[in-house]
Amino acid sequence: MSFEEVADTSFDKNGELSSIEYETDEAGQYVAIVSTGDTDSSLLNNNELDPQGDSTIVGVEGFLVHSDSSTVDAPSEIEPGENATFEAETGLEGDDIAHGVVLYDEDEFTNTDTVINATTEPSSEFSMDDIVIERDVVGLNGVFSFQNETDHQRTTGETELEQLRDELHAMLDIGGDVTLTDDVETKAGDTYLTGSMTAIQTDEPKANLTVETYGNWSEHDDYRWIHVAADSDGEFETSTDVMELADEDDDTGGPGIPSPGPPEEPDYRVSDATLSDAKIAPGDSFEVSAKLQNVGEGTGPFIAELLVDGEVVDDQIVRVGPGEKDTITFTHSFNEAGEYEIAINDAVAGTVTVGDKEDETEATFDVTDATLSDTEIEIGDSVDASATVTNTGDETGTFTAELLVDGEVVDEETVQIFAGDETTVEFTKQFDEAGEYEIAINDADAGTLTVIEPGEDDDSAFPIPGFGPLAALLAIAISLFAIRFLPAQN
């Protein structure tokens, strides 16, 4: 990202900045930064963010410079519930041309806040990864229609902006430098802005787009529409204006989409919060998880909060469908020793004790009672080997049990065992060669396993003392007899 200083300005007596004009010959995405400082200070060094002296950033604004303005024939007034048709024309010549129109309540939008936070000091290494955007708007409440040559997707009701972004990525495949990116970390609030969107990929510079409205949208003259068209060369054109929503007959039905009525509300419950570790060393991480269930009839966002001693230290926005369940997981660490109460929302997970590394004790384990389900099997059969693992230490820990055949590890299983508890580990192993094998689980000997050929036995086929050879001869004769009288097969 490259920057240039374009103008000096000052505040007037009303505390407002004088206007600044900026011209560029290249279309693209731009960022404007306003800063203050003494005469020797500057944010830039060789066109990179590298503050020189004492500088304070007082404002940041992003804007797009388009190749040209698109021409759009749009209605100036419609009734709530009617469809608005936009006839757009551009001068784009590239491939994969996509058009989109968004119509939204501008009053609602201007009354929401978006805060851009820099997580590090500006420098030459500054990137989008160093920015966190906090915005009130989590999504739009309206109708969203996305269409290309092979697919058409339509979504109604409350939809998060991230979901709309992903659907646009998948369906419109906009090329060049015009991209919707998730490089910036974003934290959204719980406001759903009244608005609808239609996007299509026509590969043509002209397009007709129909945007749907709801019959219960507020009536006023400040609904903003924005048209954007882009092609694979990175060129794009835009146009914008406002229209009025007015119901002449005071009828909320209209020929378009009727009012959906009050939306069904979600009802979220958080339960069964657990900790991966009850004691850690400073700097180590642990996980805390909980079950989330939506027992309501509607779908909407839920803000899951990780609390430490009653204070929110992290959050995430999740959505679960009516009657569905999910698992919320946070990862956290502490740098100072102490005891901390951990919870996810109102579900208490327990206490995490953070101790010094030198004071940390380890779990110890014993493996006993190793046994085999059989001591003799035929080739191709399996045998079960089991053992008891006991945590004889004072701390919860994990143990990796290993199945050994003739001293070689052939399988393993990792288990977590609380201090003083025990568990049974079990392995199943198939053998494909005859022979005798020594079986063990870690250092506990399970015994010797004998693997024989199918039909083979240590005793005679007919267990009558003294008749081993005769029994063998009889078995061969029976086999030949059976073969002779078997029907011929091709």
**Cα(369)–Cα(77) distance, integer angstroms:** 83
Residues of the chain with pLDDT under 50: 169-182, 250-256, 259, 358-360, 458-490
pLDDT recorded at residue 57: 73
Co-location of 120 and 74 in the same domain: yes
Residues 6+ apart with CB under 8 A from 318: 292, 301, 302, 304, 326, 328
**Strand bridging mode 152-160 / 114-118:** unpaired
Q: Which two tokens stand for residue 66?
A: 């388009």
Co-location of 187 and 166 in the same domain: yes
Question: CA distances (Å), 76 to each of 179, 378, 384, 421, in order?
Answer: 30, 85, 78, 74
On whether the pTM is more than 0.75, the answer is: no
Identity of the residue numbered 40: D
Radius of gyration of the chain (CA): 36
Question: CA distances (Å), 180 to each of 164, 175, 295, 426, 442, in order?
Answer: 10, 11, 34, 50, 53
Q: Which two tokens stand for residue 248?
A: 């002449």
Co-location of 199 and 113 in the same domain: yes
Position 473 in a domain:
no
pLDDT recorded at residue 246: 85
Co-location of 130 and 58 in the same domain: no
CA 392 to chain centre: 39
Domain range spanning residue 239? 69-245
**Cα(79)–Cα(258) distance, integer angstroms:** 11
Q: Examine the fold and report which residue of 35, 65, 95 is the final residue of a domain before the chain moves on.
A: 65
Co-location of 56 and 137 in the same domain: no
Q: Which residues pair with 451 in a beta bridge?
A: 377, 435
Residue among 212, 222, 201, 214 at smallest CA distance from 94: 201
pLDDT recorded at residue 184: 55
Co-location of 220 and 296 in the same domain: no
pLDDT recorded at residue 335: 92
Buried b / exposed e across 309-334, counting CB within 10 Å, b at 16+? eeeeeeeebebbeeeeebebebebeb
Q: Examine the fold and report which residue of 192, 211, 245 is the final residue of a domain before the chain moves on.
A: 245
Please spell the DSSP secondary structure of 255-320, one letter per residue.
SSBPP--SPPPP-EEEEEEEES-SEE-TT-EEEEEEEEEE-SSS--EEEEEEEETTEEEEEEEEE-
pLDDT recorded at residue 466: 37
**Cα(392)–Cα(385) distance, integer angstroms:** 22
pLDDT recorded at residue 366: 94
**Cα(352)–Cα(395) distance, integer angstroms:** 13
Co-location of 342 and 382 in the same domain: no
